[in-house]
């Protein structure tokens, strides 16, 4: 192809492109002049959608973090055990989700553990997870703005609830954060998690409440027991090892949960203990060092259709006593294996959970009047509620 032909070809392409652009532009102008309301509607809808999307995003997160993050503390413990030298591996949630296939030294020695917590009042009381301080010989708490760590005292703790209260003493004013009401939080509401994952202090993550009332069971290697969580808050705010014990904060600047666990097998799933669970036992932990649980000392079994026919009952209501603990309140009251609890204080018992629920709401030395079926005959038996042994 000659130089002249090349130039002619290029000029033809450019002219064709210009004509195409002119046709498209002319078509748009003609459409807008004929249907101006459609064009205006499109612009308005885009503007409104942008405003709606913007209004859904929280704007006060930096202010909340600035105001309350100083109350979030870094906890380091000294533990004598056979655990791995890496303190992250000592977190039971890390071991649960990642397994135990990590190098460890079986020789008894002193190791360290790390976690988070938060100060709940100016007196220096703070909340964290029980597994953060479990087996600790010493606990040190680092508070932002203070030069040296504080030596903390474990005031009270409870394995089943995975809660612990610590106390630090300071001559200076301590920052603290208020406890909110987790029952009022709804699925979809924004939350803020602050903690110290992997020793990175005051790390902030944001997400929403994904679900409420989640149950999880985790084996605790230190004690060999099962830790059963019945009512956790699920969130997609990132929670990592070391975050345990830190606060989950609402947009009103109040703690609504205690960051507790992660599911590393599924992205974006973390869990927190509802703060109302902690509030219910906080006074017990501070005053008694443990949670006082009501107890009568029976093992229960649900009624089945076959058992209802055996006991000659009209329906499957009732809870069967499968065993009685010797020298327990139930044993002292005369309850025996094979008794069927039909009522407690005029409350009809449908299953064993009803019995447990009623007992859990009583206080030590409360009297429970039971209607019990024994040998085909109903009788009244009074049981004085006792304290569950440790």
- The model's pLDDT over 206-249, given as tens digits with 9 standing for 90+, comes to 999 999 999 888 877 667 788 888 899 999 988 877 788 999 99
CA 356, CA 368: separation in Å to the nearest integer? 12
Say yes or no: 309 and 323 in one domain: yes
Half-sphere exposure of residue 225: CA atoms within 13 angstroms, side-chain side = 10
Which of 288, 319, 344 represents a domain boundary (last residue)?
Answer: 288
pLDDT at 9: 62
Which of 230, 253, 288 represents a domain boundary (last residue)?
Answer: 288
Say yes or no: 274 and 243 in one domain: yes
Our CA dihedral for 157, 142, 197, 68, rounded to 10 degrees, sits at 90
In a domain, 105, yes or no: yes
pLDDT at 241: 75
CA angle 374, 375, 380 (to 5 degrees): 30
Say yes or no: 82 and 137 in one domain: yes
* Per-residue pLDDT reduced to its tens digit, 154-176: 999 999 899 999 999 999 999 99
Say yes or no: 259 and 121 in one domain: yes
In a domain, 157, yes or no: yes
pLDDT confidence band for 105 (50 / 70 / 90)? low
pLDDT confidence band for 19 (50 / 70 / 90)? confident
In a domain, 58, yes or no: no
pLDDT confidence band for 336 (50 / 70 / 90)? very high
Provide, rounded to the nearest whole percent, the portion of the chain with pLDDT above 70. Answer: 76
> Which is higher by pLDDT, 360 or 222?
360
Say yes or no: 128 and 272 in one domain: yes
The three-class DSSP label of residue 134 is: coil
pLDDT at 269: 84
Say yes or no: 302 and 270 in one domain: no
352, 307 Cβ separation under 8 angstroms: no
CA 232, CA 356: separation in Å to the nearest integer? 20
Half-sphere exposure of residue 205: CA atoms within 13 angstroms, side-chain side = 23
In a domain, 304, yes or no: yes
| Number of structural domains the chain divides into | 3
Tell me the catalytic residues. Answer: 131, 162, 244
Average pLDDT, the chain: 84
CA 272, CA 258: separation in Å to the nearest integer? 5
Instruction: Match 């609504």 to its residue by tokens.
Output: 256
Q: Which domain holds residue 336?
A: 294-387
- Residue 344 sits in a domain whose CATH number is 2.30.42.10
Residue 202 CA: distances (Å) to CA of 61, 68, 70, 152, 199? 14, 11, 8, 19, 9
In a domain, 48, yes or no: no
Say yes or no: 218 and 338 in one domain: no
Say yes or no: 92 and 151 in one domain: yes
Say yes or no: 131 and 146 in one domain: yes
CA 291, CA 277: separation in Å to the nearest integer? 12
In a domain, 192, yes or no: yes
Say yes or no: 234 and 85 in one domain: yes
- Residue 159 sits in a domain whose CATH number is 2.40.10.120
The winner for highest mean pLDDT among 32-41, 254-263, 309-318 is 309-318
* Per-residue pLDDT reduced to its tens digit, 29-65: 666 666 665 555 554 555 545 444 555 678 889 999 9
The three-class DSSP label of residue 12 is: helix
- Residue among 177, 174, 190 nearest 254 (CA): 177
371, 340 Cβ separation under 8 angstroms: no
CA dihedral over 31, 32, 37, 38, signed as positive or negative: positive
Say yes or no: 279 and 303 in one domain: no
Which of 244, 271, 288 represents a domain boundary (last residue)?
Answer: 288
Q: Over 90: is that where the pLDDT of 299 sits?
A: yes
pLDDT at 36: 61
CA 172, CA 158: separation in Å to the nearest integer? 30
Residue 380 region, left (φ>0) first, then alpha (ψ -120 to 50), else beta?
A: beta
Say yes or no: 313 and 182 in one domain: no
């Amino acid at each position: 192809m000659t130089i002249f032909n090349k130039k002619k070809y290029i000029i033809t392409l450019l002219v064709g492109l210009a004509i195409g652009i002119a046709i498209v532009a002319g078509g748009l102008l003609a459409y807008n002049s004929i249907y101006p309301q459609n064009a205006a509607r499109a612009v308005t809808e885009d503007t409104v959608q942008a405003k709606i999307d913007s209004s859904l995003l929280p704007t006060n997160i930096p202010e909340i973090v600035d105001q309350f993050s100083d109350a979030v503390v870094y906890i380091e413990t000294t533990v004598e055990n056979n655990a791995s030298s890496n303190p992250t591996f000592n977190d039971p949630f890390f071991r649960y989700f990642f397994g135990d296939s990590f190098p460890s030294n079986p020789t008894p020695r002193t190791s360290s553990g790390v976690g988070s917590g938060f100060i709940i009042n100016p007196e220096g009381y703070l909340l964290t997870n029980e597994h953060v301080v479990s087996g600790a010989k010493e606990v040190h708490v680092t508070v932002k703005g203070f030069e040296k760590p504080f030596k903390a005292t474990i005031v009270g703790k409870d394995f089943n609830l995975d809660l612990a209260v610590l106390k630090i003493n300071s001559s200076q004013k301590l920052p603290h954060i208020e406890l909110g009401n987790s029952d009022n939080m709804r699925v979809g509401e924004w939350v803020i998690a602050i903690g110290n994952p992997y020793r990175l202090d005051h790390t902030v993550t944001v997400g929403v409440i994904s679900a409420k009332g989640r149950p999880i069971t985790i084996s605790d290697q230190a004690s060999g027991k099962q830790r059963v969580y019945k009512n956790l808050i699920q969130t997609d705010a990132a929670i990592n090892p070391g975050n345990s014990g830190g606060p989950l904060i609402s947009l009103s600047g109040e703690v609504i949960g205690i960051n507790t666990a992660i599911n590393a097998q599924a992205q974006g799933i973390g869990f927190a203990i509802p703060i109302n669970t902690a509030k219910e036992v906080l006074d017990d932990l501070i005053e008694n060092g443990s949670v006082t649980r009501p107890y009568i000392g029976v093992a229960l079994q649900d009624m089945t259709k076959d058992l209802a026919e055996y006991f000659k009952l009209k329906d499957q209501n009732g809870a069967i006593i499968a065993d009685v603990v010797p020298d327990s309140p139930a044993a002292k009251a005369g309850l025996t294996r094979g008794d069927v609890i039909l009522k407690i204080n005029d409350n009809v018992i449908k299953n064993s959970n009803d019995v447990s629920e009623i007992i859990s709401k009583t206080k030590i030395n409360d009297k429970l009047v039971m209607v019990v079926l024994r040998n085909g005959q109903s009788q009244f038996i009074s049981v004085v509620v006792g304290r569950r042994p440790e």
